Chains A and B, each alone.
Chain A
Amino acid sequence: MDLLYKIFINPFVEMIDGPIFFAEVIISGVLVGAMYSMVALGFVLIFKASGVFNFAQGALVLFAALTLVGLLELGFNLWVALVFTMGVMVLLAFLVERFMLRPLVNQEPIILFMATIGLNFALEGAGQIAWGSDVKKLDVGIPNQTFEIGGILLNSFDLWAAASGAILVVVLALFFHKTFIGRALRAVADDHQAAQSVGIPLKTIWVIVWSVAGLVALVAGIMWGSKSGVQFSLSLIALKALPVLILGGFTSVPGAIVGGLIIGVGEKVAEIYWGPLVGGAIENWFAYILALAFLLFRPQGLFGEVIIERV
């Protein structure tokens, strides 16, 4: 009885008793969720355009952040370093397309998935050899102060992160819907063969989409890097983005955003109100269970394409 009370009543009482604290929890969840979404976006872009489940997205984030920090440490100007890192990510996209995607075209999805895990190893190793494996501080001049609005404590850094996430989504949406290349990308995502038959070069599209995913990874890397330092564990962010993905659907950009917010808020609320009951540290798996519960009702995620099967 006591246990049931602790599970079903006590947390809600706490929520109502401390509305300001509850609001803070929700807001911090939303902000963290926005940052998960940024990582998940990279997955969605690549999955949409090439059907590859890119496990290496986390390693891409790490690699981008490490490259940027490394260049800054060498004494480059921030903007020069940024442009240079973008160049590196585009070059990486070229290499991936040439040496991984092109030879593996038309293979089973699981083979491509395995190849991206291989890429994951290679990138983690390469990034750390080139730039060292100790924790580095990344400071790109985002203000980091706490202030209060209506009694709720906020952190300006988190707001900046959420804002840049929002800008990223808007830019991507414009890019996808208003530009020629964006239209080509959507065509490829819709139907490879049809796109190819109207003259869209698939190889170029793959390079572009991996470059875009690399740039998204760079933004995510800057945000996560300045929040928690640039280090190996950054590549584990990918594991946080996976439940976001299955919750939102592999093929949906809005899904990645909404999924990220749901996971971010759910995780924080669960950790703070229910976590102590089971000894804490439930953040690692709670997101997966939450996503799994959603999947039981919608197997393709919230916004994913409905899977139609024919015999």
Chain B
Amino acid sequence: MIYRETGQFKSSYVSDQAIFPLSQDRWMVFSVMGVAFFVVPFVASEYWLQAVLIPFLVFSMATIGLNLLTGYAGQVSLGTGAFMAVGAYITYKITTNIPDIPILVVFLLAGLVAAGVGIIFGLPSLRIKGFYLAVATLAAQFFITWLFNKVGWFYNNNPSGTIIAPPRTMFGIMITGPEATAETRYLVGLAFVTFFALLAKNLVRGRIGRAWMAIRDMDIAAELMGIRPLQTKLLAFAISSFYCGLAGAMMVFLWLGSGETETFALDVSFQVLFMVIIGGLGSILGSFLGAAFITILPILLTNAPPMVGIVMPIALSKHLEEIIFGCLIIYFLVVEPNGLARLWQIAKEKLRRWPFPY
């Protein structure tokens, strides 16, 4: 009933190749975007923006990045945190040394640097596969965080070793720094995520995305068909790292306001990988769902017991959270290994026939 495609005729190739061929999908995306851009900034409180929505945007960006690499190109990476760190530290380095470059351009430049680093650490993927590769990418994680910790050049030798988002304006509006309002930072992040999510969506349904999927499904067969594994895999690493670098820059400059290497520890890499798996491997929509789920779950777990009147010592509640989080992950994987995106697909199938199933 709701998702009925009967009667939606395509009369041109352009409309046949639309990103959202169903008008229901199209309207839903438009309305979600409309609400996100024009309603949320006016309605949401500072707490909601700072604790839920901005982190959601940051992690969506990182999750899309990792999903391109792991879900589409099939290369498992545990170095996401490191690539995010590259984005954040390079943004800091550029914007403190050349303050004249508009901050958003700096974000993109830092993303490009992250892409370069991604290519370097993606090189082993040509020889190494599967879990060997996953462990090998940990080298990136540990080496890069060590580098940013030890080499003072990256954080301008300041004694604390942290990078702090300096105040930067664009078009007369304060975008980063302590005085930037949560609404501005949210809107900037949202604009970035919207643009790059659309880009990713188009990327994966074009030639590049299909090459990635061919490599993922069987690289030797893909090679026989004329897809170059070298270029394809490295491109996947580069683009994925670009997204992750951008996410790292957003994390420090739009969300936290300051960062150190601990901010990008291995936990972040795992968190993003969780988001990819829970959301659904090889799905852009799934990246958003996964990011939302994993961002909100800990907040829910922290706030739920006090709401129903249970007061626990902090250490106990922290460990209890860990247990529940771990068990939920396992439970979730058991129930739906293909992730939230698959659940949404099933729901769509059901909604098609609702309320008159056969």
> B131 touching A250 by the CB < 8 A rule?
yes
**Smallest Cβ-Cβ distance to B274: which chain A residue:** A114
Distance in angstroms between the alpha carbons of A118 and B273 in the assembled complex = 12
> A285 touching B266 by the CB < 8 A rule?
no
B residues in contact with A291, CB < 8 Å? 135-136, 139
Distance in angstroms between the alpha carbons of A245 and B150 in the assembled complex = 27
Q: Are A129 and B320 CB-contacts (below 8 A) given A104-B337, A282-B146?
A: yes
B residues in contact with A200, CB < 8 Å? none
- A122 at interface, CB cutoff 8 A: yes
> B277 touching A110 by the CB < 8 A rule?
yes
> B218 touching A311 by the CB < 8 A rule?
yes
A residues in contact with B281, CB < 8 Å? 110
Neighbour of A246 across the interface among B132, B220, B277, B319, CB < 8 A: B132
Distance in angstroms between the alpha carbons of A4 and B153 in the assembled complex = 22
Distance in angstroms between the alpha carbons of A174 and B315 in the assembled complex = 44
Neighbour of A104 across the interface among B131, B149, B218, B334, CB < 8 A: B334
> A295 touching B127 by the CB < 8 A rule?
yes
Residue-wise interface mask of B (108-125) relative to A, using a CB-CB cutoff of 8 A (1 in contact, 0 not) = 000000000000000010
Q: Are A288 and B142 CB-contacts (below 8 A) given A113-B131, A122-B326?
A: yes
- A6: shortest Cβ distance to chain B, in Å? 17
**Smallest Cβ-Cβ distance to B70: which chain A residue:** A110
Q: Per DSSP, are chain B's interface residues mostly helix, strand or loop, or mixed?
A: helix
4 smallest A-B Cβ distances: which pairs? A121-B326, A122-B326, A125-B322, A118-B329
Distance in angstroms between the alpha carbons of A121 and B130 in the assembled complex = 23
- A60: shortest Cβ distance to chain B, in Å? 13
- A152 at interface, CB cutoff 8 A: no
- A13 at interface, CB cutoff 8 A: no
Distance in angstroms between the alpha carbons of A78 and B195 in the assembled complex = 62
> A117 touching B127 by the CB < 8 A rule?
no
> A311 touching B221 by the CB < 8 A rule?
yes
Q: Are A246 and B150 CB-contacts (below 8 A) given A104-B337, A129-B316, A129-B323?
A: no
- A87: shortest Cβ distance to chain B, in Å? 21
Residue-wise interface mask of A (267-295) relative to B, using a CB-CB cutoff of 8 A (1 in contact, 0 not) = 00000000000110110110011011001
- B44 at interface, CB cutoff 8 A: no
> B136 touching A114 by the CB < 8 A rule?
no
> A307 touching B129 by the CB < 8 A rule?
yes
- A11 at interface, CB cutoff 8 A: no
Neighbour of A129 across the interface among B76, B151, B319, CB < 8 A: B319
Number of interface residues of B (CB under 8 A): 46
A residues in contact with B333, CB < 8 Å? 104, 107, 111, 114-115, 118
Distance in angstroms between the alpha carbons of A45 and B319 in the assembled complex = 29
**Smallest Cβ-Cβ distance to A295: which chain B residue:** B128
Neighbour of A121 across the interface among B134, B149, B322, B337, CB < 8 A: B322
- B197 at interface, CB cutoff 8 A: no
> B274 touching A117 by the CB < 8 A rule?
yes
Q: What are 21 A-B contacts with C-beta separation under 8 Å? A: A53-B131, A100-B330, A100-B334, A104-B334, A107-B337, A108-B337, A113-B131, A114-B273, A118-B330, A119-B326, A121-B329, A125-B321, A126-B319, A133-B319, A250-B132, A281-B150, A288-B136, A288-B143, A295-B128, A299-B127, A311-B220
- B83: shortest Cβ distance to chain A, in Å? 15
B residues in contact with A133, CB < 8 Å? 315, 319
- B236 at interface, CB cutoff 8 A: no
> A295 touching B320 by the CB < 8 A rule?
no
- A242 at interface, CB cutoff 8 A: yes
Having A242-B138, A296-B124, one finds 17 other A-B pairs with CB under 8 Å, namely A110-B277, A114-B274, A117-B270, A118-B333, A122-B323, A123-B326, A129-B319, A133-B315, A250-B132, A279-B150, A284-B146, A288-B136, A289-B139, A295-B132, A301-B132, A309-B220, A311-B224
> A243 touching B326 by the CB < 8 A rule?
no
B residues in contact with A250, CB < 8 Å? 131-132
- B300: shortest Cβ distance to chain A, in Å? 16
Residue-wise interface mask of A (162-184) relative to B, using a CB-CB cutoff of 8 A (1 in contact, 0 not) = 00000000000000000000000
> B320 touching A292 by the CB < 8 A rule?
no
